[in-house]
Amino acid sequence: MIIEKNRVVSLAYRLRRDNAEGEMIETVDSSQPFVFLFGAGGLLPEFESNLSGKDVGDSVDFGIEAANAYGLPDDNALEFVPKDIFMIDGQLAEDLLTIDGFVNLRDQEGRLMRARVAEVNEAEVLLDFNHPLAGQDLFFSVDVLEVREATEEEIEHGHVHGPGGHHH
């Protein structure tokens, strides 16, 4: 069965920076595959376009330039915040203020946001809200493990249910 819209796909992959010889960023193997609903809009469009039409057992290698992956770094995604927002029970949570470490925050609507600590000074912390892979060219080596028809419920919900997917 080939990969096309409204099919559940299971993959193993290796993600490297820049090209096939680049630094390894992430590995997902067949023991805990990446499982997703193809065409639901949750993945990088160029990632899906490189998988379209592939079949179980196929392997494919492809690169995605930064602009088509997680974009280029945006200076507007950098924000100084008062250091005192990191006070917990009257103590500064110094362990959260590690350069290149990540902190989880909530915006005014209560949505979870993740930021990288870019700089810490006497009164402020510079947070970088860019995606961690912004500005990075990506190279994927993918093995197609399984392809099946999505259930009506999966299509309606826009995600996979059961093993490797969402549990309600």
Domains of the chain, start order: 7-70+133-157 (3.10.50.40), 75-128 (2.40.10.330)
Provide the edge-to-edge strand list for the sheet that holds 102-106: 78-82, 124-128, 112-120, 102-106
pLDDT higher than 80, residue 166: no
Enumerate the H helices of 81-139 as residue ranges: none
- 60 Cβ neighbours under 8 A, 6+ residues apart: 50, 51, 54, 140, 141, 142, 144
pLDDT digit string, tens, across residues 85-132: 999 999 999 999 999 999 999 888 999 999 999 999 999 999 999 999
CA 9, CA 90: separation in Å to the nearest integer? 49
pLDDT higher than 90, residue 79: yes
Q: What is the chain's mean pLDDT, rounded?
A: 94
CA 34, CA 159: separation in Å to the nearest integer? 12
- Please state the three-class secondary structure of 17-62 as a single string: ECCCCCCEEEEECCCCCEEEECCCCCCCHHHHHHHCCCECCCEEEE
Band the pLDDT of 162: cuts 50, 70, 90.
confident
The counts of H helices and E strands in the chain are 2, 11
pLDDT higher than 90, residue 145: yes
For the full predicted model, state whether its pTM sits above 0.85.
no
